[in-house]
Amino acid sequence: MPHPTAMRHLLLLVCCLSTTWASAQLPLTPRQLYPGLFEAVQQGRVFPDNKTFVDMVPLAPPSRILADYAQQRTQPGFNLATFVKARFRLPASDASTYRSNVAAGLRPHLDTLWRVLERRPQDSVARYSSLLPLPKPYLVPGGRFREVYYWDSYFTMIGLSEAGRTPLVRSMADNFAFLLNRYGFIPNGNRSYYLTRSQPPFFALMVQLLAQQQTDSVLPRYQPALLREYAYWMGGADSLAPGKASRRAVRMPGGEVLNRYWDSSTEPREESYAEDVAAAKGLPNPRQFYRDIRAAAASGWDFSTRWFGPDGKLTSIRTTELVPVDLNCLLLTLEQTLARSYKAQGQAATAKTWELKAAKRQAAIQRYCWNKAAGWYTDYDLPQRRPATIRTLAGVFPLAFGVATAPQATQVAAGLKADFLKDGGLLTTLNASGQQWDAPNAWAPLQYLAIQGLRRYNQQPLADTVATRWVRLNSRVFQQTGKLLEKYNVQNTSLPAGGGEYPLQDGFGWTNGVLLYLLNHSATKQP
């Protein structure tokens, strides 16, 4: 039998080799494939949206394109846009050809959109494309979002479940399990330039959605993938001292482990390269700025004053200094789902271990994220060693996941009614900053979780009010435009939502899913 020290060294070697192998298998991103040309295209705004170029497919090997660029770019009359359009294929979009039939009504429109937004599985993709292949069918959000997105997909899957499309729900869950097996985590989306970060971890809820239809017997099928997801978020936690953080794990002052959003890169985002470079200009530490910008993108809230310093400006972004309340509620349900998966296999002792992990996290969320003075759940500010002061709609997650006590839920409900509730639904934050995850904007996933949280704590009248106002707004905009949108202005419902780095998108996966659920389960039925 090997000596224990030798065994530890062997395990370390295997781990290092595995990491090296995994890194070697990662596809190159557009910036890595086209150095120099990439920066020229993005900074030169050849396309108004930086995401266009990173989604294009080359018509020749990158080495040939770079050689042509080096030869031609200094010649008289060289036109960069003409050069690029002759050597790359523009990304396809079904949205440009689809026309809705408003007269048919909302439900037929939603039923049609499932087909419009569905993508067939890819055993392979075009060589040098940034798209990562997936083995089974899936839905994209729509518009510029031509790939699967992690947390968007859960809310889309809710709608698919309501529509009786359970096989597609299972296919999407299988795709996320595939990504976990292939990359060790679920990337922001299935693009090479997203392989440095994840998104809010909703995979456990996707599995729970299947279990609602097929009983907990389905849980063991996804247990290995659930464990990989947990390992990704908790990596490095065991070696942390109190008050220290490493990647996504944070050892809190009392010794508990919670988590934060993180991106492994300190470079500008490739899909928003020009915006990031411009925003970082003149900053003393642009690398940290890029890290925090990317971490906010990993949160899904890109961008919000939730992540900013006291001046409320993007340049003061400090995402990695905050322990988000919503993220830790999601990891709580991951731990609880793992406990259920072991219980379904008759492994009571292991199930108990995971139940204890969940109980510790729930207590830590209560200890660090309940802001007693505000009567609200907020993120925890690590440098300040106290709950953050800004109230956001992330504060409903402890209600949706059963963390809150009944008195706390009553306080949060009162705050929602007094401050967040507007004519079209619930504001994302109370700050009108011009950022898309601030007032006056609202988003379907947060409406859904607020409604679920209120119902869980018997705040039914307020839940019904939110649902009715949101459905009414969605319906009215559809009647006027023939579109369902990614976000809405709930404060002045006659105006569109604004902010963000791109125009308002329609489609839209998570809006469709939440809307169909509310049409089926709200007190006020809509046609």
If you ran DSSP here, which 8-state letter would residue 497 be given? Answer: -
Both tokens assigned to 495: 């105006």
* 94 in catalytic set: no
Q: DSSP E strands: which ranges in 97-232? A: 118-119, 138-139
Residues 360/352, Cβ–Cβ less than 8 Å: no
Give CA separation, 431 vs 279, 422, 440, 457, 512, in Å.
Answer: 21, 14, 8, 27, 27
- Provide, for the chain, the percentages of residues in helix, strand and coil under a 3-state DSSP scheme, each rounded to the nearest 5: 55, 10, 35
* 326 in catalytic set: no
**Rounded Cα gap, residues 399 and 466, in angstroms:** 15
Taking Cα atoms as reference points, which of 405, 413, 408 lies closest to residue 454?
413
Between strands 488-489 and 441-442, the pairing is antiparallel
Give CA separation, 42 vs 76, 185, 282, 298, in Å.
Answer: 21, 28, 19, 22
**Which residues neighbour 496 within 8 Å (Cβ) at sequence distance 6 or greater?**
485, 489, 504
The active-site residue, picked from 271, 302, 326, 379, is 302
Give CA separation, 73 vs 38, 69, 274, in Å.
Answer: 13, 6, 20
Long-range contacts of 67-72 (CB under 8 A, 24+ apart): 69/36, 69/37
**Rounded Cα gap, residues 48 and 502, in angstroms:** 9
**Rounded Cα gap, residues 132 and 124, in angstroms:** 8
The active-site residue, picked from 174, 292, 438, 486, is 486
Both tokens assigned to 277: 């470079």
**Rounded Cα gap, residues 141 and 139, in angstroms:** 7
* Amino acid at position 328, single letter: N
Kindly report the three-state secondary structure assignment for every residue of 457-492.
CCCHHHHHHHHHHHHHHHHHHHHHHCCCECCEECCC
Q: Which residues are catalytic?
A: 302, 486
